[in-house]
Amino acid sequence: MFAAALAVAGGGRAAFADDDTDASVSADSEPRTAIGLHAGIGTASGIITVAREWRVSSKLSVQAGVGLGLGGFQAKILPQLELQLSKHGWLTVGAGASGGQYRWHEQGGFCFQDSCATKSTNLALWGITEIGIQYRWSSGWRFGPYVGGAVLANPSSLECTGADEALVHCERDHVDDGQKRLFTGFSLVRAF
């Protein structure tokens, strides 16, 4: 799927080739808008997210996107500070919000007993922070990993689900679980 997306977007390796390999990628020379694909584990915007990005100034951009997680659809908005570290290397630091359906599972979903605790909500509102490194080509492509954290702003909306033993176990032993999360992922972005 990843290879197919690259081929459609511009022909694989040739799409990432720099017009001038010595050219630095500066914020002033980058286009004002971009679209990206983000994939991650534990993110508050879904396992896979499509986002649009607008450059507000040479060091500030705003990202808005929709994604799909294990609990359902999510949406996010993330203002980001962007600092150039080297000719093609950038540091991104962001803080924003996301919201959508959310489901929490005991032991990350790897609990195989009938009494495993689960919680869910139709609207989880998250405060999110994110830090990442991006490699940027002068052709407009960007790629890089990121890590972050999220805190549930409306924890009372998260309710234990299940029946009998699982419900009792959840309400007794997992009162505060599912309200904070760490995540990691990567982004592939095309500025235009």
- The count of other CB atoms within 10 Å of the CB of residue 71 is 18
Second-level CATH architecture of 24-191: Beta Barrel (2.40)
Dist CA 85 CA 5 (whole Å): 28
pLDDT number for residue 18: 46
pLDDT in the model for residue 116? 85
What is d(CA 137, CA 126) in angstroms, rounded to the nearest whole number? 32
From start to end of the chain, where are the E strands? Answer: 33-41, 48-55, 60-69, 72-84, 89-105, 118-136, 141-152, 159-161, 180-191
Q: Which pLDDT does position 21 carry in this prediction? A: 52
Which pLDDT does position 7 carry in this prediction?
A: 40
pLDDT of residue 29: 63
pLDDT at 1: 41
- Cα dihedral 173, 158, 125, 130, rounded to 10, equals 30
User: What's the pLDDT score for residue 57?
Assistant: 93
Residue 166 tokens read as 């699982």
> What pLDDT does residue 46 have?
93
Of the candidates 77, 92, 160, the one whose C-alpha atom is nearest the C-alpha of residue 126 is 77
- pTM for this model (two decimals): 0.81
Mean pLDDT for each 10-residue chunk of the chain (192 residues)? Answer: 41 45 61 93 94 95 96 96 96 98 84 82 97 95 98 96 87 93 97 92
